[in-house]
Amino acid sequence: MMDVLFEILKYVLPSSIVFITVYFLLKQYFEQERFKMMSLQQKERYQISLPLKLQAYERLALFLERIRIPSLMMRFPLAHTSSTDLCKTLMLGIQQEFEHNMVQQIYVSEKLWEIIVFAKDEVLHEVDAAALQSQDIEQTKQLLLTSAHQNATRVLDTALNAIKKEIQLVL
User: What mean pLDDT is reported for the chain?
Assistant: 90
User: What burial class does residue 110 get, using C-beta atoms within 10 Å of its C-beta: 0-12 exposed, 13-18 middle, 19+ buried?
Assistant: exposed
pLDDT at 145: 83
Statement: residue 154 has pLDDT above 70: yes
Residues 6+ apart with CB under 8 A from 105: 113, 116
Statement: residue 81 has pLDDT above 80: no
pLDDT at 150: 84
* Segment 96-120, tens digit of pLDDT: 999 999 999 999 999 999 999 999 9
Statement: residue 9 has pLDDT above 90: no
- Side-chain-side CA neighbours of 57 within 13 Å: the count stands at 21
pLDDT at 80: 62
Which has the higher per-residue pLDDT, 142 or 125?
125
pLDDT at 79: 67
* Segment 32-52, tens digit of pLDDT: 999 999 999 888 878 888 899
Q: How confident is the model at residue 1 (pLDDT cuts 50, 70, 90)?
A: confident
pLDDT at 22: 95
Mean pLDDT of 139-151: 81
CA atoms of 155 and 116, how far apart (whole Å): 9
